[in-house]
Structure formats: structure tokens, C-alpha cells
Amino acid sequence: MDALTHVLRALRLEPTAFKRVALAAPWGLRLSALDHAAFHYVEQGTAWLRILDAERAQQRLLQQGDIVVVSHTAAYELLDDPPVGHGAITAMMFSELRPELPAVSPLFASIPPLIHIPGQDGRAIDWLTPPLDLIAFEDRHDYPGKDTVISRVLDILFIMVVRSWIGYANPNGGGWLNALYHPQIGQVLGCIHQQPERAWTVEDLAAVVNLSRSAFASQFTALVGEAPMTYLARWRMQLAATLLVSQPAATLEGIAQRVGYSSAYAFSKAFKRIVGVSPSAYRQLPRM
């Protein structure tokens, strides 16, 4: 299993604020996606999307069937398309998706401010149509568990959209994704993600790819953006957070051993330093 698969599996999202709206021109919305991702699907009509951050300013005309994910931006706008005319209807599906630990996930930190997947013939591309149709079906009916189904499908849909973006992303563009494609650092990332419980040292990781300690540490930091042991600790915390939520009966001692710590005390100290709260407090946080 490659490192990306591990990261996708551990990426826990909390879809919130799901809405389906129909807007008659003229209309305009000002939104923010600074600490989360915002998902939009244009079910009917057109809209202009404008990212307003000075360093990331851009605009895009969205057509019926288009999907966009906006993230890491303090302000953006969705506006009607004036040439279409007064009273023209734009229908959209919208949701916010908040990762439980945005500062820990290397994938969430790597996605750009805007992911745009154009539709085909007025619909989403074929392999994204089934989950979108299921969400729309659930929204039209009041079956028991409706909100839970929509939330789970949105989680899957986000992963599918990000996976599509990764497939078209430039592997030489730098950052964590670039590191996944690197023949040596990608191999090391795979080892870290497959065996987080192992008592890795920088020397051990360097030996995996037959590099000196200094050469490996320098290359890893340049590509990934942080030192090997820092990355390992953050990955362990994301796995631990997943276990704390998905396995409420698991003890701290058991989770500590599964993510590479010799004691619950050492694990709890590291978890609070990286995540900001203790494992016990994190387990008690309200969730959907």
C-alpha cells in the first residue's frame, strides 16, 4: 500500500453546512475557506468564482456540471454571470468539509486554493455522477439517517475529487506530493506510513535508500518541507487521532504502542504538543 493510500484512509473529514440552493440573477455570495474546504457543484446555470486573496487572486467561470473545491483562502465570491440575463437561475450544491486535524494532514495542507473539475455535457464527469446523484436523492427525501448518508458520501466525494486533482497535478511542482513521486524519498514515506510503530531513526530511514544521514535529512526536508522525525511524529498523531475516534474502547497504552510510543505518558505528551489537546480531551470533542 502506497503512502497516498494511507493518507487518504486517515483523512477524517467533517462535512457541515450542506445546502442545495437556487438563485435568481442578480445574486452574489461572499464566503471564506481559510481553515476548511468548501465544495460546490453547479447543478444548473453558470456562476463566476473569484478568489480575492491578494496572493492567490483568480477567477473562473463555472458551467453547469462543474465541481470546485476552494480551500486555504480568507475570502472568495460566487456571482451570477451578467450576460446570461436578469432572473436566470443558478442551482448549486454546497458543503463545507473540515478535516479533524488540518495541521497534521500532509494531503490537506498540499491542496491548492482552487480545484476545478469541468463537467461534460451539462453534468459532472461520469465517475463523479453517482455520488452526486445519491446526495441529491437523499436531499429530496426524508428517510431515516438522511444527514448521515449525505455526510458520508460527501466525505467519499471529496477524496474522489482530490484524487482526480492528484492525477493531473504536476509531480515536479514541489511539496509533499512531489516527494511521493521521488524514487528515494517516496520510498521512505512509504516505510513511514506502513510502519509508524517502528522505532525509526534518521539513520534507519537513510539506510532504506542507501543515503548518508546528512544527505537524506537535507533531501527529505527540502522536498517534504519538514524534517524526517517531525514528519513521522505528525503522521503518528494523525493515526492516533483516527484510532481515538474510531475505537473508543481502545486504551491510551494500546494506541501508544500502535503508533510507536513506549508509554501512554510519552504518547499523551507528544499528542498534546502537536494537536493542542490531550488524547482524552480530543476523544471527548463533539462530532457529527
Please tell me which residue, 23 or 99, carries the higher pLDDT value.
23
DSSP-based three-state secondary structure for 68: strand
| Whole-number pLDDT of residue 33 | 80
C-alpha cell at 144: 431515516
What's 288's DSSP letter?
-
CA distance 279 to 247: 13
Q: Which residues are registered as beta bridge partners of 23?
A: 90
Which 3-state string (H, E, C) describes 108-143?
Answer: HHHCCCEEEECCECCECCHHHHHHHHHHHHHHHCCC
Note whether 119 and 90 are within 8 A (CB): no
- Contacting residues for 202 by C-beta, under 8 A, at least 6 apart: 213, 216, 217, 228, 229
Residue 288 has pLDDT above 60, yes or no: no
Note whether 170 and 104 are within 8 A (CB): no
CATH 1.10.10.60 intervals, the chain: 175-284
Note whether 20 and 139 are within 8 A (CB): yes
The Cα-based distances of 163 to 47, 104, 189, 254 in angstroms read 25, 19, 18, 32
Q: Which residues are registered as beta bridge partners of 58?
A: 51
Note whether 232 and 210 are within 8 A (CB): no
Q: What is the number of other CB atoms lying within 10 angstroms of the CB of residue 119?
A: 19
Q: How confident is the model at residue 137 (pLDDT cuts 50, 70, 90)?
A: very high
- Written as one letter, the residue type at 74 is A
| Whole-number pLDDT of residue 143 | 92
The span from the first CA to the last CA of the chain, in angstroms, equals 29
Topology of the domain covering 3-168: Jelly Rolls (2.60.120)
- Contacting residues for 281 by C-beta, under 8 A, at least 6 apart: none
Q: How confident is the model at residue 103 (pLDDT cuts 50, 70, 90)?
A: low
Q: Which CATH class is domain 175-284?
A: mainly alpha
CATH 2.60.120.280 intervals, the chain: 3-168
Q: What is the number of other CB atoms lying within 10 angstroms of the CB of residue 124?
A: 24
Q: What is the crossing angle of helices 185-194 and 213-224, to 10°?
A: 90
Using alpha carbons only, what angle is made at residue 19 by residues 14 and 39, rounded to the nearest 5 degrees? 55
Q: Which residues are registered as beta bridge partners of 22?
A: 91
- In this prediction the pTM is 0.76
pLDDT tens digits for range 229-276: 999 999 999 889 889 988 889 999 999 999 999 999 999 999 999 989
pLDDT tens digits for range 5-49: 777 777 777 777 899 999 999 999 999 887 788 999 999 999 999
pLDDT tens digits for range 193-221: 889 999 999 999 999 999 999 999 999 99
CA distance 92 to 81: 14
C-alpha cell at 72: 486555504
